[in-house]
Structures are given as structure tokens and as C-alpha cells.
Structure 1
Amino acid sequence: MNYRDVLETLKKASAFDLYRLSCAIDREMERPEHIVAVQRQVRTGQVIRYFDGTENREYEARVTKFGRSLLHVERIDDGRRWRIPYYMVNLGEVDVSVSQPGNNKPITANDLSIGQQIGFYDKENQERSGVVERINQKSVSIRTETGRWRVAYCYLFPVIEGDTFDGADLISVADNETA
């Protein structure tokens, strides 16, 4: 499924249309057939991938236990334990990205994930890079070597390669704003 095309179609929908569709999707995700389908394909100890909508990114985790409506997992990256709905499990190894490289479309909230490297132009039109900390409706909170910045989407650009800031050495930060 091409998520970008779906989102482009949804932009034409009214707020009520989106709400009604959201209700139908919520009911569909909770159907017992979908839960059983995941339970049949997953085993305790198996490493799975799941999509976290709040951080807009995918994680690897080990299955620890089956619940009636939630799957118990332990994340591979930090060992933290979570209970996730079965519908979050990406069994088909589907590409979860919405952005398409090289399409020259502006970056949106759907293109970003927490922890992702991103570049931006500051008030003096200088290029900076940092790590996405928070995704807001109109702007993104980014942690850089010089502090935290709130940056409007129109000032963002993808970071492809190079010497970028990963945020690991940051101890104290100042708050900055762009646009």
C-alpha cells in the first residue's frame, strides 16, 4: 500500500469524513479475526517489528507473552517491556515510510520519526542538523549541538550523509525557535 497516495486522497476529505473513516478503521482493527491471525503467526521468543504511531517509527521486539487483546514484548534496543495491540505488529515486513526519496515534496509530520536525523535552516539561513525530539502539528522540536529548536516544516530538509549531531553528548540546552 502506498501510504503517501492514501494521505493525498485523505487531504480532500472533510473533517466528518475523516472521523467516520477513523471509527470504521478502529472497529476493524479490533476484530477478533485480526487478533487471531497475528497470534497464529507469532511465537513466544520470536523477534517481531511493530509500528509505534506516537513516535512514527518502527521497533524490533521479542515476544514475551500473549494477552487477550495485547501482545507483551521486550524491545531489542533498550530492553523495556511493553504491551502493544496486535494490530501494531508488522508481520508482512511492510515498508512503513510515507516519504518517497527524491520526490521533492515538502517534509510533513508523516515523514518524520522520533530520533531521526533532520536538517533545517535557522533564522540567519544557516544550515543546521539535529535529532527529532517531538513532532507537532505545525513544527518539529529538534535537539542540536547548540540547543533545542522548534522549527516549522517549511525549513526542514532531509539529512543524507555526513557528520551530523546525534544528541548523545548534549548535557544542557537552551531553547531556540525558528519561524
Structure 2
Amino acid sequence: MLPDAWHYFGDIKAGNIAVKPLTGTSAMDYTAILEALNKASLFDLHRLQSAIYQELINPVRVEQIKAQLKVGQSISYFDPQANGLIDAVILKIQKTRCLVRNVKDQKNWNIPFYYLNLDDVDTAIQPKPHTTGIPKSALQVGTQVGFKGRDNHELFGEVIRLNPKTATVKISEQHTWLVPYSRLFPVIDGTSYDANPTQASLFIEHDKS
């Protein structure tokens, strides 16, 4: 993270985003940033992606991260596929990447430095109030969720994969379901919260993969 964090406070206009520094904190509000980006065109996003990538491979930034690393160090990194943080231990440090071993499954992965969450940043993105379902951006592999089956009965399980339009939800060792994100509701502390209990649960199917 840079010493100065930036916060979106205006609309995206003509490919430009109005930003101002936050004082007294290095945290970034990912939810607010995503809300601002929702107003961007595909070209706006493409232009920003190009600029962001150049910063990701900036040699100065890379060296700053590398200087903080050591073999055997416990870290967490953000996995785009899981859309969440993974705890791991550094096994080897390379020029722009490091070899890590995941704590949970003991698998080794070679990841770029920019995956590393050295500042213990809260990476959660909160859905908008009164949002139907759970947006993909706010969901992580391992999250407990609920949904209504074809008989309108509630089913509960764990998200094991994030697909383009559906989440793969495991409800038992033998059964997984492909559920549209708009049909999911969160399960918090053993209780369910259905934002739209009368909505019909269509387009839900067993995962045959």
C-alpha cells in the first residue's frame, strides 16, 4: 500500500476519476471504489486496468515489497479465484514472485508480490443495502449461503466455486448446486437472512460436473 490512500468522491467522467487523499489512514474503501467503477464504461475500465497493471509491475514498488519478505514468513494473499484471502508461508523469494505453501491444504503456489496482503487489509466488499441476492464481488469461496430449491424449501451449503453467472454450492458430500448469485442469501451465526423470501427460485440446477 502507498503511504497515501485514495478515496473516490465523484463520478467517473470522460475516463477520469476524481480522487482525494484520506488523512490519518492507509486503508482503502473497496466497496466505495467498486460503486464508483460501476458507473464506468468498458473502455474506462480497460484504460484503468492498463494504468493499474503498470503500477503492479513498477520496479520501485516491487522492491519495496521484496524488502519486507523472508523465507518462513507467515503471510496472507488474495486469491482471485476464491475472491478471498489465503493464509500461507513463504518458501522461496524470487525476483518478482514468491513460492508459498497454503496453510489449509498444504499446496504450493508461485504468486506475484502484488498478491500479498502485508498490511492485513480488510478485503471484503459489502453489497448495497436491500440488494437482491449476493453479488459475486462480495462472495468468497468457503462462504456459507442459503437458497430456495424448486420446491421452495431452503437449502444451505458452502460456496466451492465462483462461476461467471452462478455459484457452485455444496450442500452435502454427494450434492452440489449451480445457483445464480441473485438467488443466494447469507447465513450468519447459524441463522439465515432472506432479503426476498417470496421470490421464486428459478434457474437453479444440480452441478453435473
One-letter amino acid matched to 1:51: F
Give the counterpart of 1:93 among 117, 120, 135: 120
Structure 1 residue 58: Cα displacement: 0.5
CA contact (8 A) 2:69 2:93 kept: no
Give the deviation of 1:104 after TM superposition: 3.8
Match of 1:176 in 2: 206
Cα deviation, 1:1-49, whole Å, max 9, x if unaligned, reads 1111111111111111111111111111011112111111121111011
Q: Does residue 1:9 correspond to 2:42, yes or no?
A: no
Aligned residue for 1:74, secondary structure, equals strand
Structure 1: distance between partners of 2:164 and 2:85: 20
Out of 141, 163, 166, the residue aligned to residue 136 of structure 1 is 163
Task: Tell me which residue corresponds to 2:96.
Answer: 69
Report the TM-score when normalising by structure 1: 0.85
CA radius of gyration, larger in:
2
Structure 1 stretches of 5 or more lacking a match? 165-174
Moved over 4 A (4+): none
2:106, 2:190 → 1: CA distance?
30
Q: Residues 141 and 151 of structure 1 are in contact (CA less than 8 Å); yes or no, is this contact kept in structure 2?
A: yes
SS of the counterpart of 1:159? strand
CA distance in 1, matches of 2:115, 2:63: 14
Q: Displacement, 1:162? A: 2.5
Letter in 2 for 1:137: P
Normalized against structure 2, the TM-score is what?
0.73
Q: How does 1:137-152 map to 2 (within 5 A)?
A: 137-145=164-172, 147-152=175-180
Q: Aligned pair 1:22/2:61, yes or no?
A: no
Q: Counterparts of 2:85 and 2:33 in 1: how far apart (Å)?
A: 19
Q: Which has the higher contact order (CA 8 A, sep 6+)?
A: 1
Structure 2, unaligned runs of 5 or more: 1-27, 193-204
1:105 alignment counterpart: 131
- Measured on the aligned residues, the alpha-carbon RMSD in Å equals 2.0
Q: Report the counterpart of residue 111 of structure 2 in structure 1.
A: 84
Shift of 1:96: 0.8
Of Structure 1 and Structure 2, the greater helix share is in: 1
Deviation per residue, 1:103-150 (Å, 9 max, x gap)? 443410011111221111112221111111221222211111262211
**How far apart in 2 are the matches of 1:41 and 1:15?**
36
Q: Following the alignment from structure 2 to structure 1, what is the Cα–Cα distance between the partners of residues 153 and 31?
A: 30
Hey, what's the Cα distance between the residues in 1 that align with 2:102 and 2:164?
A: 28
Q: Aligned residues, how many?
A: 166
Does the CA contact (< 8 Å) of 1:34 and 1:87 recur in 2?
no
Distance 2:74 2:175 in 1: 36
Spell out the pairing of 1:149-160 with structure 2 (5 A cutoff): 149-160=177-188
